[in-house]
């Protein structure tokens, strides 16, 4: 996730959205990776990515997109300075139902923001391509999406049906917290594996002062 500097607007008309989508396609050609979900909001973006190679740095992919788009906006609107609010935020995700939950979180952004009533009414997200409304030739399908059916139509219907199921508030809260803290989002085993690799502990500290011990 990356947002505009000081939460400022980064997309101003349809051409801006289309340029960014084209930049995504070009970046994928130069830094091959899998793009499973995305949404372009007025002042921020969300991408769900998977590297193809173990040593691949997705940061290079993001850098190319944000630099290209930042230069485009500055030239078009005759502005100077940074467009983006520093470094992007990221969260590793386990490849189980947590992955699907993140796709839904991303594609429901326009609904949560009150821009549209239904996800299919928003043009600049991956939801339309997954449900047969539109076609994006560079968008990938994760294996969980593929499990919704044997044919494209079955998968579209299955995804739409799953998407409309009730969503717990904890799901959105946990995803948002993981993203803001750059924490992993997934099952306990996955989190432990990330902790072992990174040498970090991903657990919220209790607020308040440390209690005084009696001697």
The CATH number for 63's domain is 3.30.70.1290
Inside any domain, residue 36: yes
Residue 51: strand pairing partners: 33
Inside any domain, residue 201: no
Query: In 80-168, which residue ranges form alpha helices assigned H by DSSP?
Result: 97-107, 109-112, 127-130, 143-146, 152-163
**pLDDT class for 195, splitting at 50, 70, 90?**
low
pTM of the model: 0.85
pLDDT tens column, 44-68: 999 999 988 776 688 899 999 999 9
Question: CB–CB of 196/185 below 8 Å?
Answer: no
Residue 168, domain extent: 2-189
Tokens of 26: 């070009």
Inside any domain, residue 203: no
pLDDT at residue 164, as a whole number: 86
For the chain, what is the domain count?
1
Inside any domain, residue 210: no
Selection from 149, 35, 7 nearest residue 20 by Cα:
35
Inside any domain, residue 205: no
Inside any domain, residue 208: no
* pLDDT reading at 211 higher than 60: no
Tokens of 14: 């349809």
Inside any domain, residue 202: no
What is the distance between the alpha carbons of residues 155 and 56, in angstroms, rounded to a whole number? 30
């Amino acid at each position: 996730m990356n947002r505009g500097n000081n939460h400022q607007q980064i997309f101003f008309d349809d051409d801006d959205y289309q340029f960014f989508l084209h930049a995504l396609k070009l970046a994928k050609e130069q830094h091959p990776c899998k793009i499973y979900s995305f949404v372009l909001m007025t002042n921020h973006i969300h991408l769900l990515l998977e590297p193809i190679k173990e040593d691949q740095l997705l940061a290079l992919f993001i850098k190319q997109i944000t630099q290209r788009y930042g230069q485009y906006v500055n030239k078009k609107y005759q502005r100077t300075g940074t467009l983006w609010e520093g470094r992007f935020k990221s969260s590793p995700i386990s490849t189980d139902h947590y992955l699907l939950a993140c796709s839904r979180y991303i594609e429901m952004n326009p609904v949560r923001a009150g821009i549209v009533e239904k996800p299919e009414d928003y043009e600049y997200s991956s939801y339309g391509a997954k449900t047969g409304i539109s076609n994006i030739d560079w968008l990938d399908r994760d294996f969980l999406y593929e499990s919704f059916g044997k044919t494209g139509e079955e998968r579209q219907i299955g995804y739409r049906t799953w998407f409309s199921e009730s969503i717990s508030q904890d799901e959105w809260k946990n995803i948002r917290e993981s993203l803001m803290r750059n924490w992993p989002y997934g099952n306990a085993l996955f989190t432990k594996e990330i902790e072992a690799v990174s040498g970090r502990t991903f657990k919220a500290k209790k607020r308040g002062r440390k209690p005084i011990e009696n001697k």
